């Protein structure tokens, strides 16, 4: 009878292999994967509306491997929710290539939602060094850096010049100008992205890092937030709202709302990604020609930005993984990376573009951005990063609305983050 068991086991193995093949290689309704064919690319909101034209460039020359763009919401958290719901559908998932936030690589890789990639197929050596690290998990490459990002402080050059004041390098200088100069011109002082979502996690982390603190250590294994520096960082944001130099309305701002407020001439200072500089200086913007950008300030000199941006990953269920890799190689080519900047107003990942004199002339903030990228700190690499971020958003928002003191907020952060890591 033993052979029957053995045969049964063999059959079982065969069934597992076959179903595994269908599940990982192709959608249930489409038969087994061939390496090449059409595909979809899912991305968070394309705020500068450029990606369609870039993908058209590929589609024109690759008629049998056309890519269809699926645009998800502007908010990083909503996009995260839609992508993870889709990926959990396994073989029925709709997305082949995912333009994921740099902070999601570990989570997506740990769940087996995205597939390891062959380093040799992509120009990793020409990228800015820290961005490659955001695309690796467990020493494997799981995505390819596509766009990077660092926060900048945008300011009204015209107003500071009239007052004979230099752009702020420290929090004290920022606060002083936001409190005393902004009201003279009928403006609000300072804003960032303070709605509870990933943007607030970024702003809070920047305040904490700028004060010399940290949130998690050892790739998310250790909670390090219980420090004077972290309290000082959160106090900077909470004090702004309490004292009125951060307007209450900023507690509802994501990237776009805060950019609009600055562009409409309602703010003296804005923390945002460089795309906001480009939008606000474009022809037709009420503040065009009247703005400047400097590194984010900190307690006693320039602070530290969080490293932003996105990586391109291939779904474990991608229909045509070879075409997916070929498209990613195209999107990270020198030509398309240039378009990322010139059409998309987004920071490219290829290092040499930051030194290109023609680009520096057209995008005068590039040297400042390069410097901010050099010192930018990545978000903690944690397979539970989504939960880490939810904790930070909730607690920091409570501190900014005055429901909790910064000291109590830091203690609660330490407690809740420890609970996330031990789960
Ligand atoms: C930008 C950044 C991204 C960040 C998000 C927060 O899209 O590139 O890394 O998570 O903003 O809102």
Choose one of 198, 305, 344, 379 to mutate for the ligand 1 pocket test, by most ligand atoms within 8 angstroms of C-beta. Answer: 198
Token pair of 251, please? 């507690």
Instruction: Say if residue 32's pLDDT is above 70.
Output: no
Q: Which residue, by CA, sits nearest to atom 5 of ligand 1?
A: 199
Q: Which atom of ligand 1 is nearest to the CA of 197?
A: 12
Choose one of 130, 273, 386 to mutate for the ligand 1 pocket test, by most ligand atoms within 8 angstroms of C-beta. Answer: 273
Pick the CATH number of 150-306+380-421 from 3.30.300.30, 3.30.420.40, 3.40.630.40, 3.40.190.10: 3.40.190.10
With contact defined as beta carbons under 8 Å apart, do 342 and 118 qualify?
no
Pocket of ligand 1 contains residue 76 by CB under 6 Å: yes
pLDDT band, very low/low/confident/very high, at 423 (cuts 50, 70, 90): confident
What single-letter DSSP state applies at residue 306?
B
* Strand, helix or coil for residue 214: coil
Q: What is the pLDDT, as a whole number, of residue 214?
A: 96
Q: What is the mean pLDDT of the chain?
A: 92
Pocket of ligand 1 contains residue 205 by CB under 6 Å: no
Tell me which long-range contacts 351-357 makes (C-beta under 8 A, separation of at least 24): 351/126, 351/127, 351/128, 352/126
Pocket of ligand 1 contains residue 281 by CB under 6 Å: no
Q: Which atom of ligand 1 is nearest to the CA of 147?
A: 8
With contact defined as beta carbons under 8 Å apart, do 23 and 90 qualify?
yes
Q: φ, ψ for residue 120 (rounded to 5)? A: -65, -15
Instruction: Say if residue 302's pLDDT is above 90.
Output: yes
Q: DSSP labels for 141-206?
A: E-SEEEEEEE-EEEEEHHHHHHHT-PPPSBHHHHHHHHHHHHHHTT-EEEE---STTHHHHHHHHH
Q: Which residue, by CA, sits nearest to atom 8 of ligand 1?
A: 309
Give 340's contacts (C-beta < 8 A, 6+ positions apart): 50, 54, 146, 147, 346, 347, 348
pLDDT tens track for 333-386: 999 999 999 999 999 999 999 999 999 999 999 999 999 999 999 998 889 999
pLDDT tens track for 117-147: 999 999 999 999 899 999 999 999 999 999 9
Instruction: Say if residue 16's pLDDT is above 70.
Output: no
The domain ranges of the chain are 14-149+308-375, 150-306+380-421
Report the interhelical angle of 321-331 vs 51-61 (nearest 10°).
Answer: 120
Pocket of ligand 1 contains residue 206 by CB under 6 Å: no
How many whole angstroms separate alpha carbon 206 and alpha carbon 295?
12
Classify domain 14-149+308-375 at the CATH class level. Answer: alpha beta
How many whole angstroms separate alpha carbon 301 and alpha carbon 168?
9
Instruction: Using the mean position of ligand 1's atoms as its centre, give its distance from the Cα of residue 376 in Å.
Output: 13
Choose one of 101, 151, 275, 369 to mutate for the ligand 1 pocket test, by most ligand atoms within 8 angstroms of C-beta. Answer: 101
Q: What is the pLDDT, as a whole number, of residue 218?
A: 80
pTM for the model stands at 0.92
């Amino acid at each position: 009878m033993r052979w029957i068991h053995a045969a049964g086991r063999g059959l079982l193995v065969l069934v597992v292999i076959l179903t595994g093949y269908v599940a990982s290689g192709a959608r249930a309704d489409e038969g087994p994967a061939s390496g090449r064919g059409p595909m979809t690319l899912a991305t968070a909101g394309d705020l500068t509306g450029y990606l369609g034209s870039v993908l058209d460039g590929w589609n024109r020359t690759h008629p049998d491997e056309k890519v269809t763009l699926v645009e998800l919401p502007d908010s990083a958290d909503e996009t995260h929710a839609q992508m993870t719901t889709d990926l959990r559908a396994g073989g029925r998932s709709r997305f082949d290539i995912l333009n994921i936030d740099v902070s999601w690589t570990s989570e997506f890789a740990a769940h087996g939602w995205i597939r390891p990639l062959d380093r040799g197929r992509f120009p990793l050596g020409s990228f800015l060094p820290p961005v490659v690290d955001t695309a690796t998990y467990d020493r494997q490459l799981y995505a390819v850096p596509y766009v990077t990002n660092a926060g900048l402080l945008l300011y009204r050059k015209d107003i500071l010049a009239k007052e004979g004041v230099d752009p702020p390098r420290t929090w004290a200088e920022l606060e002083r100008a936001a409190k005393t100069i902004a009201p003279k011109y009928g403006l609000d002082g300072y804003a960032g992205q303070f709605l509870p979502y990933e943007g607030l996690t970024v702003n809070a982390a920047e305040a904490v890092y700028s004060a010399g603190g940290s949130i998690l250590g050892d790739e998310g294994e250790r909670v390090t937030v219980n420090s004077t520096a972290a309290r000082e960082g959160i106090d900077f944001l909470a004090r702004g709202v309490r004292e009125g130099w951060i307007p209450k309305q900023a507690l509802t701002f994501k990237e776009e709302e805060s950019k609009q407020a600055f562009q409409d001439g309602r703010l003296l200072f804005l923390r945002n990604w460089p795309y906001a500089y480009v939008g606000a200086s474009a022809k037709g913007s009420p503040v065009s020609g009247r703005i400047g950008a400097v590194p984010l300030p900190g307690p006693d000199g320039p602070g530290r930005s969080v490293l932003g941006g996105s990586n391109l990953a291939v779904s474990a269920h991608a229909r045509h993984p070879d075409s997916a890799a070929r498209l990613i190689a195209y999107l990270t080519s020198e030509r398309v990376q240039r378009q990322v900047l010139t059409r998309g107003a987004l920071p490219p990942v290829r290092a040499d573009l930051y030194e290109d004199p023609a680009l520096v002339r057209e995008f005068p903030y590039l040297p400042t951005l390069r410097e901010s990228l050099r010192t930018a700190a990545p978000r903690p690499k944690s397979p539970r990063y989504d939960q880490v971020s939810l904790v930070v958003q909730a607690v920091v928002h409570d501190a900014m609305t005055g429901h909790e003191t910064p000291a109590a907020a830091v203690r609660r952060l330490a407690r809740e983050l420890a609970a996330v890591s031990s789960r």
